[in-house]
Structure 1
């Protein structure tokens, strides 16, 4: 079936977010930094804030668990904007070109409701989506839960079989494919223009 809709994840696809951008200088010790990010402020903890838990509640819960890391844990969301380093220019350029075509563009992102407004204000390319963005923190659902794709499909009255989903997380790609979406998995060296061309999408 012909692709009519293109759905973008944001982190790792259009924006370069990584807690290491802040903590590398903070710790000045890569081994300590990696221990902290893998065992104390691990991605599973951050994902609960993406699912809708408040940053304050998430921080307090983790501080109670790891009181010896209190200073570092409080620094995490206080310095979150440093972790959002930049857009990913080659992919944003493709998004801008897609905006001049007949494809319908959507966003589907795992992102805290509290931090997403900063990204919206500071990166103008988000305006291309014209508000057609489903944010996990707002919906209290998170990829790869299939319910969040159903929110997107029902809200905008689109069909999975007519839609291409682009993400950097293999679990999300796998789930989207199982729901009937065509998919592109983004890696740091992915040529998105070439991948789209392979799907018959010229930009």
Structure 2
């Protein structure tokens, strides 16, 4: 029986446009897949370098201004549907499950979200969770297995009593190796608000 639910953030609660994001970066000459860029992208997502260092890297390497980089970087972020906030608020209020958020994110993205959805909305969302784990704050990232071990150990969770919801297959596969139940939610086809019908066999 599921007692704990760990949620991803992007494309689970806030909508993302990953294709536009990749295009905007490519228009600046930056490829997410290029091996030369992967270390800096991963380090930034894990909070191992500051926003200033991140921006300076691309200014120096690609001659991209901070303004253009930040605009392209935040182009992935879209809207946060109100029905998803209502869903998690109701779930938190029910007190039936321990709720956690675990998101690969970074300082620029979280700042954009706070500014654009508003701090009142953001805080209403954040307080629904017992722990709100952002990778740039805990210096770990998905799909590395140690991030799931960290969440389990930190909160005394039993893997077999835990469900992890994420839109990236690589992340759910990794979590599942520890015995965590998973739902690889497909954006545009499935909604987190459908949790108890899509995964009713677990509850």
Same fold, TM exceeding 0.5?
Answer: yes
C-alpha contact 1:106 1:133 (8 A) present in aligned 2: yes
* Deviation (angstroms), 1:100: 2.8
Structure 1 residues 88 and 168: alpha-carbon distance in aligned structure 2, compared to 1, 3 A threshold = farther
Residue in structure 2 matching 1:98, options 82, 91, 97: 91
Structure 2 unaligned regions, length at least 5:
none
* Deviation (angstroms), 1:118: 5.6
Q: State how many pairs are aligned.
A: 189
CA-to-aligned-CA distance 1:128-180 (integer Å, 9 cap, x gap): 114x1121111211101111111111111111110000011111011011111
Alignment of 1:107 onto 2:106: no
Residue in structure 1 matching 2:26, options 35, 57, 78: 35
* Deviation (angstroms), 1:199: 2.9
Distance 1:16 1:143 in 2: 19
C-alpha contact 1:36 1:42 (8 A) present in aligned 2: no
Which secondary structure does the structure 2 equivalent of 1:100 belong to? helix
Distance 1:195 1:112 in 2: 27
Distance 2:18 2:170 in 1: 21
Deviates more, 1:79-88 or 1:151-160: 79-88
Alignment of 1:48 onto 2:52: no
TM-score normalised to structure 1 length: 0.77
Structure 1 residues 80 and 35: alpha-carbon distance in aligned structure 2, compared to 1, 3 A threshold = closer
TM-score normalised to structure 2 length: 0.77
Which secondary structure does the structure 2 equivalent of 1:93 belong to? helix
Alignment of 1:64 onto 2:57: no
Distance 1:50 1:64 in 2: 20
CA-to-aligned-CA distance 1:173-194 (integer Å, 9 cap, x gap): 1101111111111222114344
C-alpha contact 2:165 2:182 (8 A) present in aligned 1: yes
C-alpha contact 1:6 1:106 (8 A) present in aligned 2: yes
CA-to-aligned-CA distance 1:100-135 (integer Å, 9 cap, x gap): 3211110111111465366453522222114x1121
Structure 1 unaligned regions, length at least 5:
24-29
C-alpha contact 1:49 1:137 (8 A) present in aligned 2: yes
Structure 1 residues 6 and 200: alpha-carbon distance in aligned structure 2, compared to 1, 3 A threshold = same
